[in-house]
Amino acid sequence: MSLIRLDKMLANAGVGSRTQVKYHIKKGLVTVNGTPASKPELKVDPDKDTICINGEPINTSLAEYFILNKPAGYVSATKDNIHSDVVSLIDSTRKDLFPVGRLDKDTEGLLLITNDGALAHNMLSPKKHVEKTYYAVIDGIVTDDDVTVFAQGVNIGDEDLNVALPAKLTILNEPLSSYYNGVDSEKDKNVSYITVTITEGKFHQVKRMFHAIGKEVLYLKRISFGPLTLPEDLPISKSRKLTVNELKLLESYIKKD
């Protein structure tokens, strides 16, 4: 692990601002492996060194990973002065967390939140073709012909560059009971329930794909992202840290060709 400035590491860990951290160090309240830190720019190894403030160990692990069941109404950003941001839903004192990719403000579902830039780069790289599966309620009856069109690639714009890559569209016989469907099916029979798997992330892609075939998305929820699946027991707006198994799956996934 590469070394990092002590003050930066503590600020990232949520101890306080860089100014506050420097004050703690100056007062001799911060120790590194039992020895009072001499200066803010002291280089430390977060994975090996034991950092304490007032004798209390600090979680100095550089990488943290959370899975969030994003609610509608939140933007996929670290901070937003107008709308609520997804990072505010994470129970962590870290200041360097960010969402891996984006979901539209009105879209629900799985978001990976981390501070691991290398992993985020791999998961979002167009070369990786990371699969993202969505559950949706569609205004209109989705047909087998639509399935074929999606499999061939839907033109979602006026130029050839706006032809989406082939996507797997599956028509469901009924709503997924494990996910809120957003529509009272007893009142509206002219709706379809589907899942769709895409391998890219164009702006409003799923909505634009259905709009291109004359239908509209009424409700949209991401239920998987790469090797991760949204836990059915994770309530909306809630998050949890990734399990050891999930971390291993992620590590193997980003290493694949």
Q: What whole-number distance in Å separates Cα of residue 122 and Cα of residue 108?
A: 23
Q: What whole-number distance in Å separates Cα of residue 170 and Cα of residue 248?
A: 29
Q: 244-255 vs 117-124: helix axis angle to the nearest 10?
A: 60
β-strand pairing of 30-32 with 74-75: unpaired
* DSSP 8-class letter at 89: G
Helices (H) and strands (E) in the chain, counts: 6, 17
Q: Does 104 qualify as catalytic in the annotation?
A: yes
Q: What whole-number distance in Å separates Cα of residue 71 and Cα of residue 179?
A: 12
Residues 88 and 249: beta-carbon distance below 8 Å: no
Q: Which two tokens stand for residue 61?
A: 């692990």
| End-to-end alpha carbon distance in the chain | 25
Nearest to 183 by CA among 194, 171, 191, 172: 191
Catalytic residue among 85, 104, 106, 139: 104
- The single-letter code of the amino acid at 98 is F
Catalytic residues: 104
